[in-house]
Structure 1
Amino acid sequence: MPHLTLEYTNNLDNFDPAGALAALNEALFDSGLFGESDIKSRAIALSTFRTGVNGTRRAFIHVRIALLSGRTSEARKTLADAALAALQGEIDDQPGTELQLSVETVDLDRPSYAKAVLNG
């Protein structure tokens, strides 16, 4: 744990999702809340999206961090802030584009979560 999902609109210039995932994983590890191999992340490019109702050129990146339940609100907020800072460090200027960045944390039900690690 955790599972991190990065969704981004495919109209971003010079965005490196692999680099962003590396920076996000590092931020999560630096929090001291997780073991190094417990951090799992993935990026999903969005080709169909809409922001708002007018024709302004817009883009967004949203990070969802799914955690086992039991973390305090303060710990979750600190983690979200660290992830947002890491993400901001990976974004080039987007001239002519309004770019929205957001991070959320969500709880996974600890009693019903199942995991196995297989070493081949």
Structure 2
Amino acid sequence: MPHLSLEYSDQLSGFDAAAALLTLNRVLLASGEFEELDIKSRAIAFSSYLIGTQTQGHAFVHLKLALLSGRSAAIKHQLSEQLLQALQQTCVWPPAIQVQLCVEIIEIERASYSKVTISN
């Protein structure tokens, strides 16, 4: 834990999802809240989406951070703000497209989460 899921509209041709994930993972590590090997991230581009009733001139990047329950609202807010700031700096955003960036913190009930690490 945590799990970071980055969803974005595929028309953002200058958006480097792999570089963004690395930047975001570094932000999480620097927060002091997580161990490096516990941070798992992934990205997926969407070709079918709408913003309002259209796609022309609009794009999005939506970041979901799933955390085990127990962190204060202040810590979750701080993580959200730090991730949003890092996300803003990950790309030269196209001038002809309005891009909506957002960060969502999702709490996973600690009592129902299971994990095992397998290594040979």
Q: TM-score, normalised by structure 1?
A: 0.96
Tell me, yes or no, if structure 1 residue 107 matches structure 2 residue 107: yes
Gaps of 5+ in 1: none
Q: Say if 2:16 is the partner of 1:16.
A: yes
Which whole-Å CA distance do the structure 1 matches of 2:2 and 2:86 have between them? 16
Aligned residue number for residue 117 of structure 2: 117
Identity in percent: 44
Partner Cα distance (1:64, 1:55) in 2 = 22
Determine the C-alpha separation between the residues in 2 that align with 1:3 and 1:54.
30
Measured in 1, the distance between the counterparts of 2:55 and 2:80 equals 30
In the other structure, the counterpart of 1:67 is 67
In the TM superposition, 1:19-58 aligns within 5 A as 19-53=19-53, 56-58=56-58
RMSD: 1.1
CA drift at 1:53: 2.4
What's the CA shift for 1:95? 1.8
CA offsets 1:28-47 (integer angstroms, 9 cap, x no match): 00100000100000001101
Q: 1:56 to 1:67 in 2, by over 3 A?
A: same
The unaligned stretches of length 5 or more in structure 2 are none
Deviation at 1:89, TM superposition (A): 1.1
Runs of 4+ in 1 over 2 A off after TM superposition: 53-56
Q: SS of the counterpart of 2:37?
A: helix
Q: Closer, same or farther in 2 for the Cα pair 1:96/1:108, shift >3 Å?
A: same
TM score, norm. by length of structure 2? 0.96
